[in-house]
């Protein structure tokens, strides 16, 4: 719903009830974003056949039509919050961590399928908990990725030291 110059979603959480969440501080900006049409630009090669369709067959498949503008790479499943989802799935103990070799394979595939791509987003449980985060960032930079973003809850960044 629009309120003033902002856009809000009216959400209902089974545990916390109804919440009004601001999605955009500018209605004009939000509507402008909706008007952006990306041309169909399927990957150079499909990784897997279509079995059950979108969104179940996530990733480049034979029917994939979108250009990749911001690849999202989960680098760890470790988390430092007690959210119901994170907490029940796993904690820091035994968390999956993306290796440098796995990242290299992803970077090579992205370079092959989407030449000129210059941005990646690291995510996961809490990506700042990956013990090799600086090295992974350097690896991306060396592969020509000039813009690196991290989806983080920011808890580890509270101590700037």
Which tens digit of pLDDT belongs to each residue from 33-69? 888 776 766 666 666 677 776 656 666 666 666 667 7
Backbone dihedral angles phi then psi of residue 7, each to the nearest 5 degrees:
-115, 130
Mean pLDDT, the chain, integer: 80
Tell me what pLDDT residue 142 has.
Answer: 96
Q: 14 Cβ partners below 8 Å, 6+ apart?
A: none
Residue 76 CA to chain centroid, in angstroms? 12
Q: Summarize the confidence of residues 9-38 as an average pLDDT.
A: 83
- 108 in the same domain as 32: no
Write out the residue range of the structural domain in which residue 29 sits. Answer: 1-36
Over residues 55-110, the pLDDT tens digits come to: 566 666 666 666 677 888 888 888 777 665 554 444 455 568 889 999 999 899 88
- 150 in the same domain as 74: yes
Tell me what pLDDT residue 9 has.
Answer: 85
Q: Answer positive or negative: Cα dihedral of 156, 126, 18, 33.
A: positive
Tell me what pLDDT residue 90 has.
Answer: 44
Does residue 133 sit in helix, strand or coil? helix
Tell me what pLDDT residue 43 has.
Answer: 66
- 135 in the same domain as 84: yes
Tell me what pLDDT residue 44 has.
Answer: 66
Q: pTM of this prediction?
A: 0.63
Over residues 124-133, the pLDDT tens digits come to: 878 988 999 9
- 126 in the same domain as 73: yes
In a domain, 144, yes or no: yes
- 151 in the same domain as 73: yes
Inter-axis angle of helices 100-113 and 133-142, nearest 10: 30
The token pair at 77 is: 């499943």
Over the Cα atoms of the chain, what is R_g? Answer: 19
């Amino acid at each position: 719903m629009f309120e003033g110059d902002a856009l809000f979603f009216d959400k209902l959480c089974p545990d916390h009830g109804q919440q009004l969440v601001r999605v955009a501080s500018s209605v004009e900006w939000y509507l402008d974003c909706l008007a952006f049409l990306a041309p169909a630009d399927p990957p150079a090669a499909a990784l897997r056949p279509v079995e059950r369709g979108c969104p179940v067959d996530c990733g480049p498949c034979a029917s994939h039509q979108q250009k990749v503008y911001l690849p999202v790479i989960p680098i760890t499943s470790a988390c430092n919050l007690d959210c119901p989802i994170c907490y029940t799935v796993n904690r820091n103990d035994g968390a999956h961590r993306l290796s440098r070799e796995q990242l290299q394979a992803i970077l090579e595939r992205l370079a092959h399928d989407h030449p000129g791509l210059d941005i990646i987003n690291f995510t996961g449980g809490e990506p700042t908990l990956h013990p090799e985060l600086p090295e992974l960032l350097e690896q991306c930079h060396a592969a020509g990725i000039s813009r690196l973003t991290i989806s983080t809850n920011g808890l580890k960044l509270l101590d700037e030291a």
